[in-house]
Amino acid sequence: MTRPTARVRTASALSLGALLTATACSALTTPPTAEKPDLSATTASPAPSGKHASPAATPALTAAQAQAVLLTETDLGEPWTPTQGSATWHDAVLKATTNLPDCQRLMDTAYSEELFGADARPRAVVGLDDDWNETQLRQQVVAHPAADVDRTLAWLKALPKKCARFTAKTTRGEAHAVEVTEAALPEAGDARQGLRILVWGETADGEPAAFTLDVAAVRVGDDAIGLTHGGFGEVSPDIARAVVQLGAQRLTEVRTKGRVEV
């Protein structure tokens, strides 16, 4: 297990601070064993706290509307850039097994980055890399029935109790301790849920090292936004909060515009 050196995020922190204000008024050394799709921008809560939208009342998002919801490197500022491909930690850390069903589902979901299941049709997806801290972010916008999204949010909410601490074994046979806690999110959208996942291991020199993955999901009517942001460098919780708040705001705006235009 190797760990990159964290660097100062001054420019990014300033950019995120402005973003939040506006919306409010070491990798493991195992090489990848399977290719994952290019996550450059493409088209294609806890539990329920709001009313379900009626599909007949709200027109489906167009590809252009879904794309407009996604954050870009311009929104987040330096050091974010369009992704250069899937990070090695996807296979080295998240491709792991445990004998606890809900915890295994969590690992599988974190690995696939499909928070709402394979049957949730992706409308738009973007991947961004933090070149300073060597972390990676993936955001997606999907159209999915509100009841199904709320079931996912309820499942996520239960995980800090069901999977607070467990052991997961990687494909190399390494046993890693995993901790799951709830992550606070802004009151955005109709429902939302956040998690922070810590995977503990050692560096090549035997020093303790931790991998961090933030997971966030927010529902707006019959559409949802999913986020994963992780790495061995600094994984600021402000990133997930910004994506949830600004993403939900944009999704609300494009849904309102769609109703006006139809």
- 74-87 pLDDT tens trace: 988 889 999 988 88
In a domain, 20, yes or no: no
Answer yes or no: are the C-beta atoms of 163 and 106 closer than 8 Å. Answer: yes
Q: Is residue 9 part of a domain?
A: no
Total domains present in the chain: 1
Exposure letters 197-233 (e unless 16+ CB within 10 A, then b) = bbbebeeeeeeebbbbbbbbbbbbbbbbbbbbbbbbb
Domain that holds residue 46: 29-241+250-261
Is residue 24 a part of any domain in this protein? no
191 assigned to some structural domain: yes
Q: What is the pLDDT of residues 1-36, one digit of tens each?
A: 544 443 334 333 334 444 444 433 333 333 333 333
Half-sphere exposure of 176 (CA within 13 A, CB side): 30
Span 83-126, pLDDT tens digits: 988 888 888 899 999 999 999 999 999 999 999 987 777 789 99
Residue 124 domain flag: yes
Question: Is 117 domain-assigned?
Answer: yes
- Give me the torsion for CA of 68, 147, 120, 56, rounded to 10°: -60
pTM: 0.79
Q: Pairing state of beta strands 191-202 and 96-97?
A: unpaired
In a domain, 11, yes or no: no
Q: Does a structural domain hold residue 2?
A: no
Q: What is the CATH number of the domain that holds 49?
A: 3.40.1000.70
The answer to whether the beta carbons of residues 236 and 8 sit under 8 Å apart is no
DSSP H/E element including 209: strand 208-220
